[in-house]
Amino acid sequence: MAIQTRKSLGAEVTTAVVPAGVLGDAFGRVARDLRVSLTDRCNLRCSYCMPAEGLDWLPTDDVLTDAEIVRLIDVAVTHLGVRKVRFTGGEPLLRRGLAGIIAGAAGLRTDEGVAPELSLTTNGVGLDRRIGELAAAGLDRVNISLDSLDRQRYAALARRDRLPDVLRGLAAAAAAGLRPVKVNTVVMRGVNEADVVPLLEFCLRHGYRLRFIEQMPLGPKHGWDRAAMVPAAEILTLLGEHFEFTPAGQRGSAPAEEWLVAPADCHPSGRVGVIASVTAPFCGACDRTRLTADGQLRTCLFAHTETDLRGPLRAGASDTDLAELWRGAHLAKAAGHGIGTAGFHQPARTMSSIGG
């Protein structure tokens, strides 16, 4: 994307010239990666994400139908240069039509003439029973959330005793050939730091790619405390006491900084990632655009504004109209999330309602 500098009232003004057919913004970034939330509901209640009693779920009529979701993905892929689609939530496996939505997306062609890369972020509960149909529909990869290998700690953290189900889901994803199977772990002080080392050994032994995530202020209101968040530097120090690792190199627009782990007696070599969204934000390289389950477009997890696509879609807007709305919204994408700055405040929606 071209960046132009011109003089205006004596001052130099830099603007990005966004070509047609892509989702560009004023900072020269182009969004190629669409995160689609398929539902705001969930069968777990991870403490950093949802209150024990759940949330006020979206009314059914507000949630996009399967056909509406595929139509909006089509607009993004065919008209706006999106090349990757990740299905998330809430828990996307709760969506009955998931395989059909995946099949619909797999039938699309990107500006490079290939099917978009399709992935799923899931808590893994019930994945073993669904993975066959999802892979057959065109799913390429899965990310499975797992915050502890200790059954009691997992049950306390997720407020549901489902660790065995998650482990079955992981094994089934690997057996279905959806490799690399990625594992996401949010690290919380005084809660699951003791899991950091066992989780990495476990993932290396099974060939899963583990990524530790800094807790973000996107859960239950007032539930985030910077002091309780375990920063990436601390996670790396902890890992350094047990593993030998070296930087894996450039990460491009990927959120995780990756490390190559040397083999040892109890595990083979492998990789580990750390997603330092709070202490080392990667907003400058962000290539994401987001669609909520009720058809609201968000340019950032932390955005305070949304653009309604469901209303125009249901009122008969053409693909071109929808693409223009989407492009216009992206031009106003903020430079960064601003966590830690004086003006920062948590968005009204939580992670599970936006789609993590």
Given a contact cutoff of 8 angstroms between Cβ atoms, the answer to whether 105 and 82 are in contact is no
Instruction: Select from ligand SAM, ligand SF4, none the partner in contact with residue 50, using the beta carbon and a kind-dependent cut-off of 5 to 8 Å.
Output: ligand SF4
Instruction: Select from ligand SF4, ligand SAM, none the partner in contact with residue 45, using the beta carbon and a kind-dependent cut-off of 5 to 8 Å.
Output: ligand SF4
Please report the DSSP string for 10-22 in residue order: TEEEEEEEPPTTS
Q: Does 39 bind ligand SAM (CB under 6 A)?
A: no
Closest CA to 341 of 290, 278, 286, 298: 278
Instruction: Select from ligand SAM, ligand SF4, none the partner in contact with residue 88, using the beta carbon and a kind-dependent cut-off of 5 to 8 Å.
Output: ligand SAM
Amino acid at 89: G
Q: How far is the CB of 314 from ligand SAM (least distance, A)?
A: 26
d(Cα 319, Cα 79) in Å, to the nearest integer? Answer: 8
Instruction: Select from ligand SF4, ligand SAM, none the partner in contact with residue 70, using the beta carbon and a kind-dependent cut-off of 5 to 8 Å.
Output: none
What does each C-alpha distance from 46 to 42, 71, 120 come to in angstroms?
Answer: 10, 32, 18
140 by DSSP, 3-state: which?
coil
Other Cβ atoms less than 10 A from the Cβ of 281: the count is 17
User: Based on CB atoms, which residue is closest to ligand SAM, 110 or 299?
Assistant: 299
Please report the DSSP string for 340-355 in residue order: TSTT----SS-HHHH-
Contacts with ligand SF4, residue ranges (CB under 6 A): 42, 44-46, 49-50, 89-91, 123, 145, 352
The alpha-helical segments, DSSP class H, found in the chain are 66-74, 80, 98-106, 127-137, 151-158, 163-175, 196-206, 232-240, 310-314, 319-331, 351-354
Q: How far is the CB of 310 from ligand SF4 (least distance, A)?
A: 21
Q: How far is the CB of 155 from ligand SF4 (least distance, A)?
A: 13
> How many Cα atoms are found within 13 Å in the side-chain-facing hemisphere of 188?
22
Q: How far is the CB of 121 from ligand SF4 (least distance, A)?
A: 8
Q: Does 49 bind ligand SAM (CB under 6 A)?
A: yes
Q: Does 186 bind ligand SAM (CB under 6 A)?
A: yes
d(Cα 26, Cα 131) in Å, to the nearest integer? Answer: 40
User: Based on CB atoms, which residue is closest to ligand SAM, 31 or 49?
Assistant: 49
End-to-end CA distance of the chain: 27
Binding map of ligand SAM across residues 59-98, x = CB under 6 A, - = no contact:
-----------------------------xx-x-------
Name the token pair of 61: 């009529």
Name the token pair of 7: 């003089």
Binding map of ligand SAM across residues 252-271, x = CB under 6 A, - = no contact:
--------------------
Interacting positions 214-243 with ligand SAM (CB under 6 A): 215-216, 218-219
Amino acid at 264: A
Q: How far is the CB of 295 from ligand SF4 (least distance, A)?
A: 19
> Site residues (CB under 6 A) for ligand SAM?
42, 48-49, 88-89, 91, 121-123, 145, 184, 186, 213, 215-216, 218-219, 351-352, 356
